[in-house]
Structure formats: structure tokens, C-alpha cells
Amino acid sequence: MWYREAGDFKKTYSEDSQTFPIRLDRIGYFVILLVAVLVVPFFITSYAANAVLVPFLIYAIAVLGLNILTGYCGQVSLGTGGFMAVGAYASYKLMTSFPDLNIFFVVILAGFVTAAVGMMFGLPSLRIKGFYLAVATLAAQFFLVWLFNKVPWFYNYSASGQINAPERTLLGYIITGPNTSPSAKYLFCLAFVILLAWIARNLTRGTLGRSWMAIRDMDIAAEIIGVNPLKAKLSAFGVSSFFIGIAGALYFTVYLGAVEVGEAFGITQSFLVLFMVIIGGLGSILGSFAGAAFLVLMPVLLKNVLVGGMGWPTDIAAHFEFIIVGGLIITFLILEPHGLAQLWRIIKEKMRLWPFPH
């Protein structure tokens, strides 16, 4: 009844093409943003930050990145873990080689390094298509992990090959290292999420985004209407890797603080991010958040309910976690095959019509 366009008059073109055409959506968006920025940091506990929100935000960035490549440009990638590793190791090398460099720029630069690497591994996409393209990104995945494990320069010749994030500050607040306050961690990641989600949203509805979607829908047709596939595909790989690189850098510097490449950025990581993209919804910004939330929060929630709330033995609870997450994925799929974002779209559609059935 209140959720509809009626009465909300658009007077300019820019108003007409805004992201949230319905007033309630707009309000909701700004309320969430305000709560996330101004309220949550004051109440956030160490557990909520380290176990729930920070990983959620970081995965959201990675999922946004992969969604640009897979959801918008139609190029399947299973190299996310490897590209995250590039971001992590780039940030480590930058942090240790230039101790005075601001952590914010370290993360951004790590994103650019990853973008360059990603574009290099994106080159085969001009020739190989569809599921077969996954082989190029899988090659990147395994090769990069092997490389970071093999070449001691990347981990500054430490005995075991683990990398540790030294303490760095931003505007006087500690951002990395063990003494970081939960709210600093959270806000630092949140800033990147807001910035990158805004970039992603605006890129995907601009010229570049349209050329990506044209390539996704049919690349030969896109070529005929004048989309340059080289430019479109490589820019998708570049932008996507930039996002993923930032996610990798944050994953290492802010979230974990110490990583080992094979364990933190292995193939399971690549699959996990791809699952988030698919479950959230291909080609949807909101879906990226939904997918990340589902696979990050659901296991934690289930664990707390089953072990903390109901007192089950930890191993049986862990098995049921898998069973329930798997069952939920299948159930969602049967109810709505196009991901959580589509589910949300349908709910909105229904709300617009409510209380009338048609």
C-alpha cells in the first residue's frame, strides 16, 4: 500500500534513472547505511566483528568482484582464491617494503596489482568460452598458490612461509595487527564496501556495464553491434580482480592478520565465493550481499543455535550444519531458481500490489 511508485513524481532524467526509484527503498537504504556507519560501531563486540561482520563485509567485496565478471560479463572464474592471494601478498610486500605507506593506499595498490594479474589471466577468455574458461582461471588459482608458496621473496624469507600483518594505523587509529579495536576493523572494511558497492552499481549501469552484459548475453551479437570484446572482457577481468584483490588484502591485513597461502586462498575459497555469487543471484549487487551473508552468517548462526542454544555435541552439530545449509540451498532453488536476489525482487513485486492479489 505504501510501497509503490505512485505519487513519487520524477522531474529530471537523473531522478528517473536513480538506483532506488521507490521512496521506501531509498529511505531503507539510507537507514541501513546510517545504522551501519553510526550505530553498529558503538555496539560491536569483538566476537561480532571478527567472527561475523568483518568476514561478511570482506566476502561481500569479493562476491561483488566475481559477480561483475561472472554475473555481468558471463565469464566463469574459479581463480578467486588465487587472486585474493595476489591482493594479500601484494599488501604484505607493500607494508613491509614501505612501512610509512598509509594502509588505505596499501589496500588500493594491492587491488591494482591484482587487476594487472587478473587481466593477464583473462587473456585466454578471448578464445575460450563458457565452462571451459574455468580452466584458465583454475590454472591461475593453482599456479599463483604454488608461486607464493615457492618463491621466498614473497614471504620475506621467513622459515615457514607464513605472512604476518604488522601494525599500521589510519588517522591515528590502529587498523591492522592484534591491537585493533573491533569497531576500527569494521569501519575500515565498511568504508571499502560502501565505496566499492557504489562503484560497482554505477559501473554496471553505465556504458561499460552494458557492454559487459551484451557480451554475457551473446558475444557474437555484441561484437556485431560494435562492442569490442577485447576491451569488454579484459576490463571485466580487471575491475573484478581489483575488487577481489582488495578483498584479499583486507582478508589478510584486517581479518586474519596471518595467513598461509595454501590454506587461506586455496581452491575451496574460489568455490566458496562462486557459491555466494550463484546463491545470491548472478548479476545483482544486492544478491552479492545476500549470497555472502547466507554462506558466512548461516553456519555461524546454526552453530550458535545448535551448540550454544541446544547443547548438541560439536561434531553432530557440525554435520547438521552442512546438512541444513545444503538443504536450504536446494529448497531455495526449488522455490526460486534465480537466487536470493530474485526472491527479494518477487517480494517487492508482491508488496507493490498488496493488498490486491493482481
Partner 1 sequence: MPNQLLFAIEVTINGLMAGVMYSLVALGFVLIFKASGIFNYAQGVMALFAALTLVGIQNGQVPFSHLINAVFGTDIHHFGWHVPAFLAILLAAGVMVLFAIIVERYILKHLVNQEPIILFMATIGLAYFMEGFGDLMWGSEIKKLDVGLPQGGSLWLEAKSKVLGGDGFYGFYIDKLDIWATFFAAVLVISLVLFSQYTKTGRALRAVADDHQAALSVGISLRAIWVIVWSIAGFVALVAGIMWGAKSGVQFSLSLIALKALPVLMLGGFTSIPGAIVGGLIIGVGEKLFEFLIGAPFLGGATENWFAYMLALVFLVFRPQGLFGDKIIERV
Partner 2 sequence: MKLTKLAAIAAVALTAASPVMADLVFPSLSYRTGPYAANGIPFADGYADYMTLMNERDGGIGGVPTKLLECETGYNTAKGVECYEATKGEGALIYQPLSTGITYQLIPKASADGIPVHSMGYGRTSAANGKVFEWVFNYPATYWDGASIAVKHIMDQEGGDIKGKKIALVYHNSAYGKEPIRTLEELAKMHGYELMLIPVDHPGQEQKSQWLQIRQQRPDYVLMWGWGVMNQVAIQEASNIGFAMDHFIGIWWSGSENDVLPAGDGANGYKALALANPGGDYAIYADLQKHVYDAGKAAGSGDQMKTVLYNRGLYAALLAVEATRKAQEIHGVAQITPAMMRDGMEALEMTEASMAALGMADFGPEFKNTCENHGGSGLGKVQQWDASAKTWNLITDWIQSDKSVIDALIAEDSAAYAAENNITERCN
> Which of partner 1, partner 2, none sits in contact with 17, Cβ below 5 to 8 A by type?
none
The answer to whether residue 79 forms part of the interface with partner 2 (CB under 8 A) is no
When asked if residue 307 is in the footprint of partner 2 (CB under 8 A), the reply is yes
Nearer to partner 2, 41 or 257 (CB): 257
Contact by Cβ (8 Å): 24, 351: no
Least Å from the CB of residue 330 to partner 1: 4
Asked whether position 303 contacts partner 2 by CB under 8 A, the answer is: yes
* Residue number with CB closer to partner 1 (195 or 323): 323
Choice from 17, 322, 348, 350 touching partner 1 (CB under 8 A) = 322
Contact 256, 177 (CB under 8 A): no
By CB under 8 A, what part of segment 186-225 binds partner 1? 218, 220-221, 224
User: According to the binding rule CB under 8 A, does residue 41 interact with partner 2?
Assistant: no
User: What minimum distance in Å lies between the beta carbon of 278 and partner 1?
Assistant: 5
Check if the beta carbon of residue 202 is closer than 8 Å to that of residue 285: no
Nearer to partner 2, 42 or 356 (CB): 42
Q: How far is the CB of 145 from partner 2 (least distance, A)?
A: 9
| Interacting residues with partner 2 between 46 and 75 (CB under 8 A) | 46-48, 50-52, 55-56
Question: Which of the ranges 82-90, 192-200, 313-321, 325-333 carries the binding residues for partner 2, by CB under 8 A?
Answer: 313-321
Residue 134 interacting with partner 1 (CB under 8 A): yes
Binding mask 274-313 for partner 1 (x = CB under 8 A): -x--xx--x-----------------------------xx
Give the binding range for partner 1 (CB under 8 A) out of 1-9, 154-162, 169-177, 333-341. Answer: 333-341
The only residue of 15, 29, 39, 129 in contact with partner 1, by rule CB under 8 A:
129
What does the alpha-carbon distance between residue 34 and residue 290 come to, in Å, rounded to a whole number?
19
Phi, psi of 177 (to 5 degrees): 90, 170
| Contact residues: partner 2, CB under 8 A | 32, 45-48, 50-52, 55-56, 96, 146, 149, 156, 158-162, 164, 166-167, 177-179, 255-260, 262-264, 266, 286, 289-290, 293-294, 297-298, 300-301, 303-305, 307-309, 313-315, 317-319, 340, 344
